[in-house]
Structure 1
Amino acid sequence: MRLAGKVALITGAGTGIGAATAQRFAAEGARVVLAGRRKEPLEEVAGRIGPGAALATPADMADTSQARAAVQAGLDRFGRLDVVVANAGGHGAEAVADTSDESWRLALDANLNTCFVTCREALPALMRQGGSIVVVSSIAGLAAAPGISGYVTTKHALVGLTRSIARDYGRHGVRANCLCPGWVRTPMADEEMDQLTGLTREQAYALVTKDVPLGRPATAEEIARICLFLASDDSAVMTGSVLVADGGATAVDLPTLAFDSP
């Protein structure tokens, strides 16, 4: 029960990593505030956890007034806030020359502004408790994949945002760490696999992980357990860190792939 008595706000909590993290945290004793733009998946996750331990707060967390209301709803229900998992993200799937102003703004809101606004609105409550922020970026925040300039740019920016929070608020008792997953089996990743025509979804996952040392994508539950580590006192001395969970993908020296044994 590593989060017994604590309260966590999780964005993008209706599906994928966010939903798995909410359930993992609740199993470890936390009460969870589930934020996201879609009401139905949030309520479904909250129902699985139970009304005494979960509060669904539909909100666009890139919008200051909605984010502030979600934070306050959690404080009103549970009386405190100890952890933020800034997990919401998406958009930005075009190369630079193909990106419209609207698409660029959507990428900024979905990936960067959502995290920034959520953390800003939560920091006063976190400072009262000595809290922890877990920012979920991506290995796209460390290297560039093709044709997703908005996603790559904003995921890189999350690393800088995490370090800025760690630098400025560590003396106030707030830790901030960044988690960079590789491929994870989520509904969003499933949609990307389905774009690889002529392949089943399983074949697509096998293809995108064929050069990854572990040879498979992560599950959302595996990433949730790393979020738990970063949120809990098990990582009490860590702040400003970037933790990679990619099955070894970024350890591979790409120019040497030609020398792999068949």
Structure 2
Amino acid sequence: MTVALVAGGATGIGRATVRALRAAGTDVYLADVNDSAAREVADQEAPGRIVVGHHDLADRHAPKAAVDAALEAFERLDHVVVTAGLHVVAPLEAFAFEAWEATMAVNVRAPYLLAQAAAAALADTRGSIVFTGSTAAHRGSPGTFAYAASKGALISLTRSLAVELAGRGVRVNSVCPGWIDTPFNDPYWSAQADTEAALNGIVTRVPLGRQGDPEEVAALIVYLLGPGSAYLTGQSVVIDGGLLSA
């Protein structure tokens, strides 16, 4: 039986990933600050067991606490998945320093600290790490300065950790979703003068003609964790319906 820590697994891509892992028989420690949503996930029947813990990844001590709790619950750790993120949208002059700092804490510092805390346990199981990046790391968008910068940093962190941990048998990769239909993008939509027009404008630029589903990203994450990707590390795999290619 394999064990995965999913940080930010209560909603969106994280929730879909927890469901996919448990359906495949993986035990999951779900670390999230959204207690009610996490309980909803835990109440769903699946072959894989689940333990839920309250962890605010903006707190510098939370990543290690989550890893320790996962190891206490299941006594091993094969995978770490980080889908937690913060997405603040505001004009440049109005973008608060606190928003910048909070974004970097959740989107960059927390993944780093999770990898640091889990490295020894993952080496024991020759495990793997998957971060959630974004196509925002590859293209500009008004008002998303901290988010885009944090995801660019995460791609570089992925490469560095992959090289650092390869000798210990641990692989590190990222997924970079484009427009995925989850509540995570609500801050962007709410900042638009005409949400419907903004959505239609984006969808028309996506070659596949639609937003992605969380389950489609979850399937990629599960693949990157599994034996089928055993020779793949240090990569940031874009899943965006062809948007960056258009």
Aligned to 1:255: none
Is structure 2 residue 210 aligned with structure 1 residue 216? yes
Note closer, same or farther for the CA distance 1:196–1:97 as it changes in structure 2 (3 Å cut). closer
Aligned to 1:47: 43
Aligned to 1:13: 9
124, 142, 165: which one pairs with 2:138? Answer: 142
Q: 3-state SS of the aligned residue for 1:185?
A: coil
1:90 and 1:107 in contact (8 A); partners too:
yes
120, 130, 137: which one pairs with 2:126? Answer: 130
Deviation at 1:38, TM superposition (A): 1.8
TM-score, normalization by structure 2: 0.93
TM-score, normalization by structure 1: 0.88
1:91 and 1:110 in contact (8 A); partners too:
no
97, 104, 110: which one pairs with 2:100? Answer: 104
Between 1:31-40 and 1:49-58, the stretch displaced more is 49-58
Aligned to 1:169: 165
Is structure 2 residue 222 aligned with structure 1 residue 228? yes
Can you give the 5+ residue segments of structure 2 that lack an aligned partner in the other structure? none
1:84 and 1:134 in contact (8 A); partners too:
yes
Deviation at 1:53, TM superposition (A): 0.5
Structure showing greater Rg: 1
Deviation at 1:191, TM superposition (A): 4.9
Q: 3-state SS of the aligned residue for 2:108?
A: helix
Aligned to 1:154: 150
Correspondence 1:81-120 to 2 at 5 A: 81-120=77-116
Can you give the 5+ residue segments of structure 1 that lack an aligned partner in the other structure? 253-262
Runs (4 or more) in structure 1 with deviation over 6 Å come to none
Calculate the aligned-residue CA RMSD, in Å: 1.8
Structure 2 CA distance for aligned equivalents of residues 206 and 48 of structure 1 = 34
Note closer, same or farther for the CA distance 1:208–1:52 as it changes in structure 2 (3 Å cut). closer
Structure 2 CA distance for aligned equivalents of residues 51 and 69 of structure 1 = 26
Structure 1 CA distance for aligned equivalents of residues 40 and 47 of structure 2 = 11
Structure 1 CA distance for aligned equivalents of residues 160 and 87 of structure 2 = 24
Is structure 2 residue 240 aligned with structure 1 residue 249? no
Structure 1 CA distance for aligned equivalents of residues 190 and 95 of structure 2 = 22
**CA displacement 1:23-63 (0-9 Å, x = unmatched):** 00001110001111121111111111469700111101243
Would you say how many aligned residue pairs link Structure 1 and Structure 2?
A: 246
Aligned to 2:180: 184
Q: 3-state SS of the aligned residue for 1:179?
A: strand
